[in-house]
Chains A and B, each alone.
Chain A
Amino acid sequence: MARFIGMRVAHGAVTLLGLIVLTFALQFIIPGDPVRMLAPRTPSEEVARRIRAQLGLDRPWWEQLGRYLLRVAQGDLGESYVRRQPVARLIAGRLPATAALALAGVLAEILLGLPVGIAMALSPRLRGLLSGLNLILLSMPTFVIGIALLLALGFGARLFPTTGGAGLRELILPALTLGLAGTPWYAGVVRDRLEESLGSSYVRMAVAKGLPNRWILFRHCLPHVFPALATMAGMDLGAYLSGVVVVEAIFGWPGIGLLAVQAMQTLDRPVVMGTLLVGGASVIALNGVADGLRMILDPRTREEVG
């Protein structure tokens, strides 16, 4: 177990380092003059040169990369061109809102996907209907689901606010959007695992013993579903912590994603790159946690360590 954790952490660290170098390389290779963002409208040669020197842009690339790595290691992600604040502080301020939405979204996915998947595996009659619904949901990008909900429940039924904000009432529609977008995936995994279990010899044994169906389902079949479900939930949580960009943009939820969208629109590169780094780090970290969780829930996978 300890060896697995060590390997997994090392693997994650290498990936993260690669990601940091990649963000640096992208900024280094692709032209786009930060001087234009910082200086008055037509900077003189002298002013432009001084700004470049201040930012260290006149140094050779390896020195710039070294400084960049050092700064990132200390948690310094640079300063926003537009807001003139440290990027790390901007992102930290948005983290609680994004975390709340991510948790609520994953919860909604499980609450919707689990019963749908169970119904699909157990009832041949519901299966066709639910598959059709799943196809419709799968064919909608997340932002279309969000706007459709806004149209139906916000403007149509007037049940929910349509103007954005960060309260509990404002959380319901974005979370429901994430839940609906994830339902087909979760239902598919639940159905697959459940069907696998229904055809297994331990269920045959339980039926032969005369156990009631409900007992077999809850005690023998569902435990077979949970490891896969936990892995998916963990990976989704990581992805959502990186800013549920479109959902935040639709509902005006003040999280990391909305910050990134606004920064993109104002060409505020340090903020965009900072959110990308923090987002990538949370994906890598939560993927690792998901793997660990699956090993705890499903002892068979502990042997895969390599």
Chain B
Amino acid sequence: MAPITIASGWPIEARRPLWGGIALIGLIGGIALLAPLFGDPYHQDFVHGLSPAGLPVGPTPAHPLGTDTLGRDVLARVALAGRVSLSIGILAAFLSLALGATVGMFAGFYGGVLEAAGMRLTDIGLALPTTLAGLALTALLPAGLLRPVAIITLLFWAYPARLVYNETLRMRRRGFVEAAVAMGEARHRILLRHILPHLRSLLLTYAPMNAAAAVMMEATLSYLGAGVPLPTPSWGNMISEGQGALAFAPHLFLAPAAFLMLTTSGLLLIAEGLKRIHPEGARFSWLAL
């Protein structure tokens, strides 16, 4: 009985998810960039935007995604919210990854006090219950568009720090680092020239997942009223508004939720594709089925 090969991942080519994800992100990013073309997100249309009973209307030619309870165009709002949510999410994802990678690399490479302090802080960071800590920071920091960026950065740096720390420790024991030390290269040069390049694929696959998590976290914070302050739309606070109208206007929830999910699934597809470019090896089974 021949062993049956199980391809790791999905039964489609390795690069398809990567390109699919890039296409999705391009689509959402394009709509967000072109937001002003879809009309004024704050304009209240009392003529076509509200039914005679004063309720929001569903999709019509004038409002392709319908209107909200105040008669504002949902498409225009979702597009503008895309700008807000994407820039906050991606900025926070980048900052947290950079901060975490720096802490992890320094702690792993230099050791000593840096290692002890950095890793104890990481332990605390990993023990923080994410959403609760987000609420606590909200209560402490001044309101504004930068508050969610700061909160997500402070909540998300610990995971990459731990990953990079472990990887750096492993690298430090490798022969090429020992050789560089023996040749008398400066320590910071070893870190930049010999260790950082080896962290590239780890950081590259982690980055899109981190971005997906950051976009979701921004939406969560805004949903709880702890993120983007009204009246600026973000997908999270639009979903929160839509929840109140679930019984009579579910499109107010479905439209921002769909945009949010297309974004995060696009980022996750990119992560999946990048992972498949460096596969860990195919698996097989002895069990005939």
Contact with A along B101-143 (1 / 0, CB 8 A): 0000000000000000000110110011111110111111100
The smallest C-beta distance from B213 to any residue of chain A, in angstroms, reads: 9
Cβ contacts under 8 Å, A162 to chain B: 246-247
- Pick the contact of B243: A216, A250, A260, A264 (CB < 8 A): A250
Encoded as 1 (CB less than 8 Å from any B CB) or 0, chain A from 64 to 85 comes to 0000000000000000000000
Q: How far is the CB of B25 from chain A (nearest CB, A)?
A: 12
Task: Say yes or no for B212: interface residue by CB 8 A criterion.
Answer: yes
Within 8 A of B (CB), among A200-214: 200, 203-204, 207, 213
For the complex, give the distance between the alpha carbons of A27 and B260 in Å. 33
CB neighbours (8 Å) of B9 from chain A are 131
Q: For the complex, would chain A's binding face be called helix, strand, loop or mixed by DSSP majority? A: helix
CB neighbours of A151 from chain B (8 A): 246, 250, 253
B53 CB–A CB distance under 8 Å: no
- Chain B interface secondary structure, helix, strand, loop or mixed? helix
B128-A207 in contact (CB<8A): no
Whether the Cβ atoms of B289 and A18 lie closer than 8 Å is no
Which A residues, 62 to 117, have Cβ-Cβ distances below 8 Å to chain B? none
Q: Is A122 an interface residue when CB atoms closer than 8 A count as contact?
A: yes
B11, B140, B239: the one within 8 Å of A124 (CB)? B11
Q: State A244–B123 Cα separation when bound (angstroms).
A: 21
B264 at interface, CB cutoff 8 A: yes
Interface residues on A, range: 35 or more
Contacting residues, chain B, for A221 (C-beta < 8 A):
287
| Contact flag A243-B226 (CB < 8 Å), given A199-B285, A260-B135 | no
Q: Please, which residues of chain B bring their CB within 8 A of the CB of A15?
A: 120, 123-124, 127
Complex Cα distance, B141 from A133, in Å, reads 38
Say whether A26 contacts B1, CB under 8 Å: no
Of B136, B226, B268, the residue contacting A26 (CB under 8 A) is B136
Name the B residues within 8 Å of A47 (CB-CB): none
User: Does A123 belong to the interface (CB within 8 Å)?
Assistant: yes
Which residue in B124, B212, B250 is a CB contact (below 8 Å) of A22?
A: B124
CB contacts under 8 Å to A, within B183-234, are 212, 216-217, 219-220, 223-226
Contact status A123-B135, CB under 8 Å: no
CA of A139 to CA of B270, assembled, Å: 12
Interface centre among B135, B239, B242, B268 (most CB of A within 10 A): B135
Q: Chain B interface (Cβ within 8 Å of chain A)?
A: 1, 3, 6, 9-12, 120-121, 123-124, 127-133, 135-141, 212, 216-217, 219-220, 223-226, 239, 242-243, 246-247, 250, 253, 257, 260-262, 264-265, 268-269, 272, 283-289
Given contacts A264-B138, A275-B135, 10 further A-B contacts (CB under 8 A): A15-B120, A19-B127, A127-B10, A132-B10, A147-B243, A151-B253, A162-B246, A207-B1, A245-B131, A283-B128
